[in-house]
Amino acid sequence: MRILLAEDDPNISIIAKISLEKLGGFDVTVVSDGEAALNEALTQKYDLILLDEMMPKMNGLRVCQEYKARCPSPKPVIFLSAKSQESDIREFTDNGTGFIPKPFDPRKLPEQIAALLKGVA
């Protein structure tokens, strides 16, 4: 499975990438801002998009909305965010496939993604 990870914190992106590649067996591409995430999602083939909400240039919700509006058959989008108010979570689940709160347990990240994707199938 190819995953696009949009995360502006280099420490978090390294931890998530290692977790997803080593434990999940996924192929992960990392971008560090919203504009790059949208461009990558629209021009390359991914099976899943993991989006941070608070990123430079464009936030995750806007990336998700633009991606879904412009992509004829959008892939699942999971938000990875420290924002965890009920209203934030509702926005994430209304716009995407699910939400994983930060800080996350790197040992469980691939399992959390698999569980969210099962709800889509």
User: What's the pLDDT tens digit per position in 8-64?
Assistant: 999 999 999 999 999 999 999 999 999 999 999 999 999 999 999 999 999 999 999
Which pLDDT score, from 0 to 100, does residue 120 have? Answer: 62
Residue 51 belongs to domain spanning: 2-118
Mean of per-residue pLDDT scores for the chain: 94
Give the Cα separation of 20 and 60 in Å (integer).
20
The DSSP secondary-structure symbol of 66 reads H
Number of domains in the chain: 1
- By DSSP bridging, strand 48-51 and strand 27-31 are unpaired
In this structure, what CATH number is given to the domain that contains residue 33?
A: 3.40.50.2300
DSSP 97: S
For residues 89-103, give the mean pLDDT: 91
Determine the residue type at 24.
G
